Structure 1
Amino acid sequence: MAQDATGTTTRRAWRAEAWATLALAWPIALTNLSQHALALTDAVILGHLSTEALAAATLAANLYWAAMAAPLGTALAATPILAQARGAGRLPGGRGWLRQMRHGARSALWASLALLLPSLLLLWFAEPLLLALGQEAGLAALAGTYLRTFMWGLIPFCGFIVLRGFLAAMERPAPALWIALAGIGLNLPLCWLLVFGAFGWPGLGMAGAGIAGTLVNLLMLLGLLGLVARDRGLGRVRILGRFWRPDGGRLREALRIGLPISGSMLLEIGVFSAAAIAMGWFGAVAVAAHAVALQTAGMTFMVPLGIGQAATARVGLFAGAREHAAAARAGWVAIGLGAGFMAAMALLLVAAAAPIARAFTGAGDAHSAAAAALGAALLTIAGLFQLADGAQAVAAGALRGLKDTRVPMLLAALGYWGIGMPVGLLLAGPAGLGPEGLWIGLAAGLGVVAALVLRRWWRLSGDSVDQGAISRA
């Protein structure tokens, strides 16, 4: 009878955690989807401008995400820092957690701003950099034009990410969702107007898409700041209180946690950016097809990424409160949810690859049919690695909740660059598989990263019920 009661209690705890994770994850996932939809909107609009514009925007986007990895990683460090600070408030004598959260958010912002300057310099010189990497002169020029107007949105975007991490730690993700949805609604007409022109307004082409993105990012940050300040529960943290006074100790912690996150992001973003560069060797059609597959796979990836961010908050909350078994349970629940969603997405991408690819290309473009056909082939390969991609994203998020970021970065280096990219280049070139071979290599690298990151979470979570290994991670 006692065993039955224990089993019932355990099942209830797992169900309760699943509902709590879903309640936190779905607004975060929708926020991620809405942010990705901003880039997707630009890709679709520019794809209807020309295949060359879509290819240039793809090159620009890959360089943009690679350049922003450092400031974005430190901005993402806000979530585990703030979640553990809030969890520590549950401990006996755990007063002062509001002040700790304020200091943590402020330090993440300072760390992010410190790393923005080299990123902006890199993006300003995008055209000569792309030329040095062997890209066509026309594509490099278009990408450089786009980035010189879009790069300024990096500053408000990083601020938005820190605020979103604060809301996740407080388990109040809805304000970021409403602001992000409003950003999509604004970006679509604004981007179309500035790219093509209307009502006597001249079209600005690539530069217009960049201007629209920067304005939307700025308005999203201002809107979220306003919502946080007006909310009685959130406003009491005074998230930007004495922002001009950085805390040296907290700043070092933000860098210690955030820089490996930046490294992991740079390794993953970099491998897909390098793949885009390699696609450029096969011509504009291959780059455009790569854009189709990458944008679609990136859209599905936003959901497990959101579940992983929820796992960071939930695991961090329990780890801060020294509830080690609950932290382990939170991580495994999130991994299961992410894997289940991505299994469904794998079936969808494989079954609907052709119509999805056709939606990205304009009917009047001479190269659109070839780009759509190759895009469908790449989407089929993307569908096959959905499960691995989702599992590694959620497991990495759970590990971040423990402030465990250095080892996952090393595992990403091995999987993406030790296996994924070399295998992809060998298959694409010597083996003669072309663009499809490159994507098969990327899928293999993702599978290795997923296996290694899951193994690390298995070890830490398995040991957590004995002597609190989670607290030592």
Structure 2
Amino acid sequence: MDENAGGKQGRAWSAEWRAMLALAWPLVLTNLSQFALGLTDSVFLGRVGTLELAAATLGSNLYFAALAPTFGLALAAAPLCAQTRGRGRGHLRGMRRDVRAAFWAVAAGTLPTWVLLWNTEAVLLALGQEAALAALAAEYVRAMMWGMPLFCGFIVLRGFLAAEQRPNAALVVSGFGIALNIPLNYWLIHGGFGVPALGVAGAGLASALCNLAMLAGLVAMIARDRRLRRYHLFGRLWRFDAARLREVAAIGLPIAGAMALEIAVFSAAAIAMGWMGALAVAAHAIAVQVAAMTFMVPMGVGQAATARVGLATGAGRASAASRAGWVAIGFGAGFMAFAATLLLLAGGPIAWLFLDAANPGAAETAALATTLLLVAGLFQLADGVQAVAAGALRGLKDTRVPMLLAGLGYWVIGLPCGLALAFPGGLGPIGIWLGLAIGLFIVAGLMLARWVRLSRAGGLTTRRWPR
């Protein structure tokens, strides 16, 4: 009997590995596709000049910090839809309400964010940035900001599709977005066909247009799918659903808070780099782009964990929810161990991919970026574990405590350590990145401990929210 039970458990774990992989890899590739939009901007602008690359980096850091509240509300659609789908009964209407409320939440967060982004130059000047960098960064952000609600709408629909275990549509649309962004960047940055050269503003506009194309593409694919049409997701979007909107806010605002804390600590690091000059900002930009690219994999696995844990939790299957979370953490940790090895061994060649040797300061930028990539290699495993564990906790609708843990690790410990190492400690840019590494290790340990506690036998319960 024990042998039969062991075999059954083994089959359950094997089935979960296969299900997690089937859901995670399209989400990972979708994240990489979306990341490639910003990477394309950096590659094109890096070959225009170091000043342009530094300005776009400062601008994008502010943009993503400001985006976090609205993005977090959009991400709330995934655990909501997953648990609604897991319950089964009445899920068509329930998931439609989840998606509609998430759209309303995105709309509510957009206008105040736009006001902040429109004043990018003033914000950066107040933070002590050079006037030339602040002015160029404002050009980039003012063009890119119009795509923000479109991107968040895409995230809402992607969460719905993940709950349906149908992630491939978002992958196809994101691939189209990359293909479109490359010619748009070249055309709008350098000009042609009657359009003047827009420089950094052209890169921002290209990203906004790609976000429009991706949202439109995903809407069209859902509308054409016979199974997904049953949900009537876009019917009566104007109907205000106060109960469901409160639920989105209860789940999404802590997600937004945790994201804002993480994004803002990297933004604060970029601001600190700005105090050390454009070369330090450009090197930081390269290291951040590479670290962010590797992060897309555990981020996608974490999104799959949200869906898989949420489905099992909604159905009341605690052991399946625990199994899904641990499988996802194993996937994320395994990939990031590989990424760490790559960065430690090939940091120099990777840094030069972003630079033109003919540009002034390219050699110095590459040398500093290589060192920063070595530090990034040290914290890869921690970054992966904390991202996936956070995703698994979201599947339980456990978002408030993870937000507090992120605040402790990043802002109480990580950033102060980085500033102390950089300035009194005399390590400069390297000190900032060592502080980031310390913060990530702290957050990873805390998130993993939280998941261990909740995933013990009988520890996973479905949270009841007003329906």
Q: Tell me, yes or no, whether TM beats 0.5.
A: yes
Q: Structure 2 unaligned runs (5+)?
A: none
Q: Is 1:181 the equivalent of 2:172?
A: no
Alpha-carbon offset, residue 211 of structure 1: 1.1
Alignment match, 2:166? 172
User: Counterpart of 2:462 in 1: which secondary structure?
Assistant: helix
- The residue correspondences of 1:66-105 to structure 2 (distance < 5 A) are 66-89=65-88, 94=89, 96-105=90-99
Q: Supply the distance in 1 between the matched residues of 2:460 and 2:331 (Cα, whole angstroms).
A: 24
User: Given the two structures, how large is their TM-score scaled by the length of structure 2?
Assistant: 0.98
Alignment match, 2:43? 44
Q: Supply the distance in 1 between the matched residues of 2:86 and 2:460 (Cα, whole angstroms).
A: 17
**Counterpart AA for 2:6:** G
The answer on whether the counterparts of 2:322 and 2:460 sit within 8 Å (CA) in structure 1 is no
Q: Supply the distance in 1 between the matched residues of 2:94 and 2:35 (Cα, whole angstroms).
A: 31
The answer on whether the counterparts of 2:177 and 2:214 sit within 8 Å (CA) in structure 1 is yes
Q: Hey, which bits of structure 1, 4+ residues long, moved more than 6 A?
A: none
The answer on whether the counterparts of 2:270 and 2:284 sit within 8 Å (CA) in structure 1 is yes
Q: Is 1:148 the equivalent of 2:142?
A: yes
**Counterpart AA for 1:138:** A
**Counterpart AA for 1:56:** A
Q: Is 1:470 the equivalent of 2:461?
A: yes
The answer on whether the counterparts of 2:386 and 2:444 sit within 8 Å (CA) in structure 1 is yes
Q: Supply the distance in 2 between the matched residues of 1:226 and 1:180 (Cα, whole angstroms).
A: 14
User: Given the two structures, how large is their TM-score scaled by the length of structure 1?
Assistant: 0.97
Q: Supply the distance in 1 between the matched residues of 2:329 and 2:106 (Cα, whole angstroms).
A: 28
User: Counterpart of 1:68 in 2: which secondary structure?
Assistant: helix
- The residue correspondences of 1:178-217 to structure 2 (distance < 5 A) are 178-198=172-192, 201-217=195-211
Q: Supply the distance in 2 between the matched residues of 1:185 and 1:246 (Cα, whole angstroms).
A: 37
Q: Supply the distance in 2 between the matched residues of 1:312 and 1:469 (Cα, whole angstroms).
A: 14
Post-superposition CA distance 1:75-120 (Å, at most 9, x none): 000000000000000xxxx2x1100000001001111110111111
Alignment match, 1:65? 64
User: Counterpart of 1:364 in 2: which secondary structure?
Assistant: coil
User: Counterpart of 1:184 in 2: which secondary structure?
Assistant: helix
User: Counterpart of 1:352 in 2: which secondary structure?
Assistant: helix
The answer on whether the counterparts of 1:461 and 1:470 sit within 8 Å (CA) in structure 2 is no
- The residue correspondences of 1:317-328 to structure 2 (distance < 5 A) are 317-328=311-322
Alignment match, 1:242? 236
Post-superposition CA distance 1:250-284 (Å, at most 9, x none): 00000000000000000000000000000001100
Alignment match, 1:21? 20
From 432, 440, 443, the equivalent of 1:449 is 443
User: Counterpart of 2:233 in 1: which secondary structure?
Assistant: coil
**Counterpart AA for 2:63:** Y
Alpha-carbon offset, residue 238 of structure 1: 1.1
From 394, 400, 412, the equivalent of 1:400 is 394
Alignment match, 2:277? 283
Q: Is 1:334 the equivalent of 2:328?
A: yes
**Counterpart AA for 1:441:** G
Alpha-carbon offset, residue 197 of structure 1: 2.2
Alpha-carbon offset, residue 198 of structure 1: 3.7
Q: Supply the distance in 2 between the matched residues of 1:380 and 1:260 (Cα, whole angstroms).
A: 32
The answer on whether the counterparts of 2:65 and 2:263 sit within 8 Å (CA) in structure 1 is yes
- The residue correspondences of 1:288-327 to structure 2 (distance < 5 A) are 288-327=282-321
**Counterpart AA for 1:286:** A
Alignment match, 1:226? 220
Q: Supply the distance in 1 between the matched residues of 2:242 and 2:196 (Cα, whole angstroms).
A: 49
The answer on whether the counterparts of 2:321 and 2:460 sit within 8 Å (CA) in structure 1 is no
**Counterpart AA for 1:168:** A
Alpha-carbon offset, residue 201 of structure 1: 4.2
Post-superposition CA distance 1:17-48 (Å, at most 9, x none): 01100100000000000000000000010001
Q: Supply the distance in 2 between the matched residues of 1:203 and 1:370 (Cα, whole angstroms).
A: 28
From 413, 417, 424, the equivalent of 2:407 is 413
Q: Structure 1 unaligned runs (5+)?
A: none
Alpha-carbon offset, residue 305 of structure 1: 0.2
User: Counterpart of 1:471 in 2: which secondary structure?
Assistant: coil
**Counterpart AA for 2:383:** D
Post-superposition CA distance 1:341-370 (Å, at most 9, x none): 000000001111000001111222111111
Alpha-carbon offset, residue 199 of structure 1: 5.2
Q: Is 1:344 the equivalent of 2:338?
A: yes
Alignment match, 2:31? 32
User: Counterpart of 1:403 in 2: which secondary structure?
Assistant: coil
Alignment match, 2:347? 353
Q: Supply the distance in 2 between the matched residues of 1:54 and 1:281 (Cα, whole angstroms).
A: 16
Could you say what the CA RMSD is over the residues aligned between the two structures, in angstroms? 1.0
User: Counterpart of 2:240 in 1: which secondary structure?
Assistant: coil
Post-superposition CA distance 1:377-424 (Å, at most 9, x none): 000100110000000000000000000000000000000001000000
Alignment match, 1:365? 359
Q: Supply the distance in 1 between the matched residues of 2:4 and 2:460 (Cα, whole angstroms).
A: 28
